Amino acid sequence: MSAIQRWKSMVEAEHAQSERMRRHEPPPIDHWRPYAQQFRVDPRRTDDLLVNRLIREVQAHQTLLDVGAGGGRLSLPLALNCRHVAAVEPSSSMAEVLRQQASDSSIQNVSLVRAKWEDAEVEAADIVLCCHVLYVVTDIERFVRKLEYNARQSVLVVLYNSAPQSQTYPLWKQIHGEDRLHLPSLPEFQEVLCELDIDARVEILPPQKPRGFDYREQALEQLGRRLYLKPDGRQMAELESMLPDLLEEVEGTLVIRGSQPLEPGLVIWRPKGTQN
Ligand SMILES: C[S@@+](CC[C@H](N)C(=O)[O-])C[C@H]1O[C@@H](n2cnc3c(N)ncnc32)[C@H](O)[C@@H]1O
């Protein structure tokens, strides 16, 4: 199987497993609504290692396309360091967080394109950024080729070394009696790039501690949703009884005991035919 086919079959298998656990309930219209506020962060923060690293890739006169911009966690600080950012974001709740945060922070050089990347009509930019989006993209070749096509200077992709929810994967066996099927992440992406004949540089960035939960009820609610449990069902009660052993407090937040930090990789390449 080719790397591109393998990527597709991993995404499809994971989605099919989710679908089965949802027991034919329709998927939410906006998957990100319960999480969108977590992507609201101060655009002028100075202690974010990823932002500080990305700022080194942009110059004041340049334009940037942020594909899957979410709540503007990266678009907004980068907008403070370049001429213009076009933020492509299909989720209405995420787009609302971005819009509100831009307005509250008086950042005016950001425009929002409310569409999936596959359908988005955009103008090319000097730099195209795509951070923590690709894990769920089925047609990876088409998506990546469009990133390249719209980049005049460079493409920057950020992905973890394993899928963002991999901390919760061990719970699947305990609650559902089956292993969670893995989404593809950085290692599979590197194989895809190889197959697409894209010569990229990969820089492993400092590990990020697990996001965690602010309090116990939030942990129960979010983990229950990740595991597709009915709020008042038997499995939810089972999960609740597991929480005291499952969670530990680290620096004021609750995290899954023993969960390893995720390592982000920054993948950078210049599309063929662009100037050095
Ligand atoms: C984990 S969030 C990351 C947001 C932001 N890049 C960051 O790092 O904070 C993933 C975002 O990708 C968006 N997304 C998912 N599929 C997409 C697609 N096909 N085209 C564009 N955006 C997409 C989601 O709506 C969500 O806002």
DSSP string, 173-240: HHHHSSPPPPPP-HHHHHHHHHHTT---EEEEPPPB----BSSHHHHHHHHHHHTT--TTSHHHHHHH
Yes or no: say if 254 and 247 are a contact pair by the CB < 8 Å rule: yes
- Rounded to whole angstroms, how far apart are CA atoms 167 and 254? 13
Give pLDDT, residue 275. Answer: 54
Q: Are 3 and 191 in contact (CB under 8 A)?
A: yes
As averages over each run of 10 residues, the pLDDT of the chain (276 residues) reads 97 95 81 83 94 97 98 97 98 96 97 97 97 98 98 98 91 94 97 97 90 90 92 91 92 88 95 72
- Closest ligand 1 atom to 94 CA: 27
Give backbone dihedrals phi and psi of 163, rounded to 5 degrees, phi first. Answer: -60, 145
**Structure tokens of 89?**
């974001």
Report which protein residue has its CA nearest ligand 1's atom 1.
Answer: 132
pLDDT value at residue 65: 98
Tell me, rounded to whole angstroms, the distance of Cα 226 from its chain centroid: 15
Q: What's the gap in Å between 188 CA and the centre of ligand 1?
A: 19
Whole-model pTM: value is 0.94
- Measured on CA atoms in the order 180, 186, 190, 196, is the torsion positive or negative? positive
pLDDT value at residue 208 = 81
- Cβ proximity of 30 and 70 under 8 Å: no
pLDDT tens digits, residue range 76-94?
999 999 999 999 999 999 9
Residue nearest to ligand 1 atom 19, measured at CA: 116
Q: Is 39 in the pocket of ligand 1 (CB under 6 A)?
A: yes
Residue nearest to atom 18 of ligand 1 (CA): 116
Q: Which residues contact 244 (CB under 8 A, 6 or more apart)?
A: none
User: Which tokens in the block code for residue 172?
Assistant: 């699947």
C-beta 87 within 6 A of ligand 1: no
